[in-house]
Amino acid sequence: MSKLERTEQTQFVNEVRKEYPDLLLRVHLDGMRFANERDKKYVRTAQHNTQNYPDLFIPNPVWSSLTDNCWHGLFIEFKTSRSKYATLKNELRKDEKLQGQKACMVRLRKQGYYCDFAGAEEAMDLLKWYLNLDGLYMPFSDHWWPGSILKDEGFLL
C-alpha cells in the first residue's frame, strides 16, 4: 500500500466516521508498514490467508427492493485513482495482483457480500450507493454500482 493510498484511505475512514458515526467498519492491515520486524511478522502471521482481501469492510447488511435480495456487507478494495485499476475501456487491468484481488472479490460476492474496487474519489459514492440500496433513496436504476468494473463477475442478483 502506497503512502498516498494509505493517506487517502485514512481520510475516507475519517469522513465515514463523521458522516455515519454509528456505522461499523474494519480496515484490513495487509500492506501496512510497521516500525519493527516483530510487529510486521505478527500481522503477517495473523493474516496469512487474507492475501488479496479487500482493504475495507462495512458489516452493514442491506436489502435491495429492486432485486428482492440482501447483501451481507460491503467490501471495498481501495485504490488512489481509477486509472490504477481500470483501463480506458472500463476493464480491470491485466495485473497479477489486481487479478488476485478480483478473484477474492468474486468469491466474496458468491457468499453474498457486495465488493468492488473504488478510487479515492469514488469510495464515498460507492458507500452512499450501497447504503441506499433499500430502494427508498435509490439514485440509480441499476442494482450494480454505476462505477463498477465487476458487474458481470461473481454472484449476480
Q: What is the pLDDT of residues 5-43, one digit of tens each?
A: 778 888 889 999 999 888 888 887 555 555 556 555 555
Cα separation, 42 vs 24, in Å, equals 24
The low-confidence residues of the chain, meaning pLDDT below 70, are: 1-2, 29-50, 65-68, 134-147, 149-157
Is 3.40.1350.10 the CATH classification of the domain at 3-131? Answer: yes
pTM for this entry: 0.74
Q: How many CB atoms lie within 10 A of CB 138?
A: 15
The answer to whether 85 and 35 have CB atoms below 8 angstroms apart is no
End-to-end CA distance of the chain: 32
**b (16+ CB within 10 A) / e for 41-56:** eeeeeeeeeeebbbbb
> Hey, where are the domains in the chain?
3-131
* Residue 78 to residues 5, 37, 157, Cα–Cα distance (Å): 8, 25, 24
pLDDT of residue 49: 54
pLDDT of residue 121: 74
